[in-house]
Amino acid sequence: MVKRRPDLPPRARGRLARRLTAAAALGQFELPVCDACDAVVFPLQEICRACLGDQMTWRSVASSGTLLTRTVIRHSTDAYFQAHRPIAMGTARLDCGPVVFARLSSDCTEVGGRVRLFNRLDRSGEQVFVATPEDVSVEPNVVGDPNRVVKGKAVLVTGADGGIGRALVEAFVKAGASRVWTASRKAAGPDARDDAIVRHVRMDVTDVASVEAAVAATGGGVDIVVNNAGVTAISGLLDADTIEGARQEIEVNYLGTLNVIRAFAPSMKQRREGVFVNVLTVLAHANLPSMGSYCASKAAALSMTQGVRAELAPWGVRVAAIFPSTVDTPASADSPPPKLRPAQVAEAVLRQIIDGTEDVYPGRIAADLYAGWRDSHKVVERELGLALPEPR
Amino acid sequence: MKKPRDYSGVAVTTPVSCEYVRTSRRTMPWFLGRAFSELVRRSGVDKADIDGLAVSSYQMVPDNGASMAEILGIRPRFLLDLPYGGASGVMALKRAARAVQDGDAEIVACLAGDIAAQGYGYNAAFSTFSRDHVYPNGGGGMNAVFALITSRYMSEFGATREDFGRICIAQRANSQGHPMALFDKPLTMDAYLSARSISEPLGLFDCVPRMCGSEGFLVMSEERAKALGQPYALIAGAVERHNAFPNEPVVSRFGIADECQLLYDMAGIGPQDVDFIEAYDDYPVMVAMELEAVGFSQPGEAVRLLREKDLTVEGDMPVNTSGGMLSLGQAGAGGGFVHMTEAIAQLSGQPLGRQVPEAEFGLVSCLGTVNYDRGVCTAAAILRRAG
């Protein structure tokens, strides 16, 4: 059991609520639906109130509803909430049936009015509902999580000279970051850019001393780190002449990312604030044998992502991951289309930070593959295995 | 609904409210033990003759009523744990009375109480639904839940903050002269309205302070009570209903609304015969709903009652004659007993505060167990003066 810190809201939730938190982490509005009578079952329980059905299936349900009641909390026995008063909260009746408690946006004041509900993570990384007027499309960070703000933040992007890296830098500048550090092994930044916002810092992610020097060079106040540096040998696990490519992938994609997180985490922990976004791949879930060693390194990075997320959650530091399919960059020039544009990935990363989600699968291909993997990871394993050319 | 068997032959005696303090280094069982020793001392009953025990406390886990029996050194043959908070007073009374009628016990000691201390009371772990779905939305606790119920009642029935203020002011007047009143100075409407906001629309004086303290009473046969020379009250009727209106999106009725007629049928009286009411007053909106549910007004029309009637001990509709929890504070699950002990005290001529003149019938209604968005457990009883 992780001890609660007073600068975070309560983390305690029951086992059933974990599933709701999982949906929030994925940006989904899902609730359990009774297999027998189709009633949406909430508050969470395992027996249907309507028909006593004992089997539920979690499904995406309509997030619209009506605001029933509203209050403004001006006193709390919880240290975190007491420090964050006043807090608007109320109950809403979902069109699909249940009455839910929710935090209310500042413009969500009309009792009886139509509302949209969002399933969100709070500052502790646990689930809460948020209600806004019905026409709102981007939930305005009602829980007041500083990690969901990009404007005014100091950002560092590793692998900044690559295709996705350049798009990320542009996206963060456009979103109002106060400083964007372009980190790469090179002495100068991409396009030799160095201005009031964008600054270059030399960093070899495989070299701990180099990473620590980069932390010092940035002054230690980086708020958002995007772990984008990565290498691909584009070879099978047995197909490669030596193990060097596989070793290099592990050194950069897994251990390099871990080096960066280990170097930047202490300052974030101290400030109780900070975000890591790890650029993974949907192939972190299942191995594509034609680039088998790369997939293995990303699987290691995914497992590491889960571990550091849990270690950093009690400190108010968020660890997110994005799982794209093939992206149209020089590194994947030989891969067949369809490919995501780097700007699409960068936009998804920005949106992910602003929405406070943990795992994002940008684009149709990644989303399909992820859905297939959730349905049966063995089916996806076979499909990817069959993509290997016939032996010659 | 078939009318239940009556409660004839059962006496309720020895109302005890004790040791009310804001904070204490003691543990909960000390407070229950104090109430128990008061029951023994004041009733004159031999401790060994107490063969039934009913206990209600939020702080019982990991122990239970059997642990209390060990602590008190008694050998009950009737044992009852009531983890229902505010509803436990009437629930204990009903069950203890049946045990006495059926011969399962001769003298049942009913005890309730808690301490107010860090880590106790309403917090994140109050209930599963609260922990998972309510408390994380701002940690407003019980206050926030009842703020929502109050705001809905106000908009639906045209109630104003002044209407709820009338309840608080009258109860404060009732606590004048009560030796255990936490708040014993008169409350003005200005002070009520201008008190700091806790959770809109609730202000400071709509919310009950948490206390340490304990409550108790004895249930036995009338013959036994007479033999002991104890003044006692009789049970004219009692009802309960839990999870009464689950399909109301926001609760607007008190849970025993549909049992009210049965309650009066058992007692053989009507609302006009009730001399005073002890209504669970965790928040004044519930007092309004309770007055409606027990037939003092039509649903949604308690407002008129509050504007026209005098709720003080000497008035034409005395409500919460000790000052209620709004004046005494709430000793956790003791809040589920405090209305019962006051009704017993009034009808047996031994109130700690002021006596309702010529009271013959008193009605107790209570509410407990706020799991999600409302109190789930509701119960009511009519007590009667003996003789």
Query: Closest Cα of chain B to A308: distance in Å?
Result: 24
Q: How far apart are CA A124 and CA A78, in angstroms?
A: 14
Nearest C-alpha in A relative to B146? A71
Structure tokens of B325?
Answer: 């929890």
CB contact under 8 A, A74 and B135: no
- Which residue intervals of chain A are DSSP H helices? 15-25, 79-83, 163-174, 208-217, 244-249, 257-271, 292-312, 342-355, 363-375, 377-386
Contacts B161 to A, Cβ<8 Å: none
Q: What's the angle, vertex CA B81, arms to CA B78 and CA B86, rounded to 5? A: 130
What one-letter code names the amino acid at B258? D
Give the mean pLDDT per block of 10 residues along chain B (387 residues).
93 96 94 98 97 96 96 98 96 98 98 82 74 94 96 97 98 95 94 98 96 97 97 98 97 96 98 98 98 96 97 98 97 96 98 97 97 97 95
Contacts B122 to A, Cβ<8 Å: 77
Q: What is the DSSP letter of B311?
A: -
Nearest C-alpha in B relative to A69? B148
Query: Closest Cα of chain B to A16: distance in Å?
Result: 9
- A300, pLDDT greater than 90: yes
User: Residue A195 has what pLDDT?
Assistant: 86
Phi, psi of A44 (to 5 degrees): -65, 125
| A87 touching chain B per CB within 8 A | yes
| B151 touching chain A per CB within 8 A | yes
Structure tokens of B291?
Answer: 């007055």
CB contact under 8 A, B123 and A74: no
Least CB–CB distance from A99: residue in B149, B155, B249: B249
Nearest C-alpha in A relative to B371? A43
pTM: 0.94
Q: How far apart are CA B140 and CA B156, in angstroms?
A: 23
Q: How far apart are CA A155 and CA A198, in angstroms?
A: 9
Whether the CA torsion B198, B204, B205, B209 is positive or negative: it is positive
Q: How far apart are CA A101 and CA B351, in angstroms?
A: 42
CB contact under 8 A, B140 and A73: yes
- HSE at residue B11, side-chain half, CA atoms within 13 A, is 21
Which run of H or of E encompasses A159?
Answer: none
Q: What is the mean pLDDT of residues A37-57?
A: 97
User: Residue A335 has what pLDDT?
Assistant: 80
pLDDT tier at A1 (50, 70, 90 boundaries)?
very low
Q: Contact B214/B29 with Cβ under 8 angstroms?
A: no
Q: Contact B100/B220 with Cβ under 8 angstroms?
A: yes
Nearest C-alpha in A relative to B372? A43
User: Residue A390 has what pLDDT?
Assistant: 67
Which of A15, A48, A101 best probes binding to B when mutated, by most B CB atoms within 10 angstroms?
A101
Query: Closest Cα of chain B to A103: distance in Å?
Result: 6
CB contact under 8 A, A73 and B144: yes
Nearest C-alpha in A relative to B196? A74
| A129 touching chain B per CB within 8 A | yes
Phi, psi of B333 (to 5 degrees): -65, -15
Q: How far apart are CA A116 and CA A136, in angstroms?
A: 7
Least CB–CB distance from B250: residue in A10, A82, A91: A91
CB contact under 8 A, A126 and B147: no
Q: How far apart are CA B219 and CA B111, in angstroms?
A: 11
| A19 touching chain B per CB within 8 A | no
| A110 touching chain B per CB within 8 A | no
CB contact under 8 A, B147 and A76: no
CB contact under 8 A, A75 and B250: no
pLDDT digits (tens, 9 = 90+) for A99-147: 999 999 999 999 999 999 999 999 999 999 999 999 999 999 999 999 9
Q: Which residues of A are catalytic?
A: 294
What one-letter code names the amino acid at B288? A
Query: Closest Cα of chain B to A58: distance in Å?
Result: 17
- A363, pLDDT greater than 70: yes
Q: Contact A143/A128 with Cβ under 8 angstroms?
A: yes
Contacts A80 to B, Cβ<8 Å: 139
| A78 touching chain B per CB within 8 A | yes
Contacts B134 to A, Cβ<8 Å: 101
Query: Closest Cα of chain B to A303: distance in Å?
Result: 27
- HSE at residue A273, side-chain half, CA atoms within 13 A, is 16
Contacts A74 to B, Cβ<8 Å: 196-200
DSSP of B238-269, one letter per residue? EEEEES--TT-SS--S-TTGGGHHHHHHHHT-
- A90, pLDDT greater than 60: yes
| A119 touching chain B per CB within 8 A | no
User: Residue B120 has what pLDDT?
Assistant: 56
Q: How far apart are CA A330 and CA B252, in angstroms?
A: 65
Nearest C-alpha in A relative to B149? A69
CB contact under 8 A, A73 and B138: yes
Q: What is the mean pLDDT of residues A46-66?
A: 97
Q: What is the mean pLDDT of residues A297-309?
A: 98
Nearest to B358 by CA among B252, B275, B269, B258: B275
Q: How far apart are CA B344 and CA A321, in angstroms?
A: 65
**Residues contacting residue A359 through CB under 8 Å, at least 6 positions apart:** A25, A26, A320, A321, A322, A323
Mean pLDDT of chain A: 95
Contacts B149 to A, Cβ<8 Å: 69
User: Residue B236 has what pLDDT?
Assistant: 98
Q: Contact B288/B146 with Cβ under 8 angstroms?
A: no
pLDDT digits (tens, 9 = 90+) for A154-209: 999 999 999 999 999 999 999 999 999 999 999 887 776 778 899 999 999 999 99
The residues pairing with A277 across neighbouring beta strands, listed in sequence order, are: A226, A320
Q: How far apart are CA B72 and CA B68, in angstroms?
A: 6
Percent of chain A whose predicted confidence (pLDDT) is above 70: 97
Q: Is B113 left (phi over 0), alpha (psi -120 to 50) or beta?
A: left
| B333 touching chain A per CB within 8 A | no
B201 upstream amide cis, omega within 30 of 0 = yes
Nearest to A217 by CA among A229, A228, A209: A209
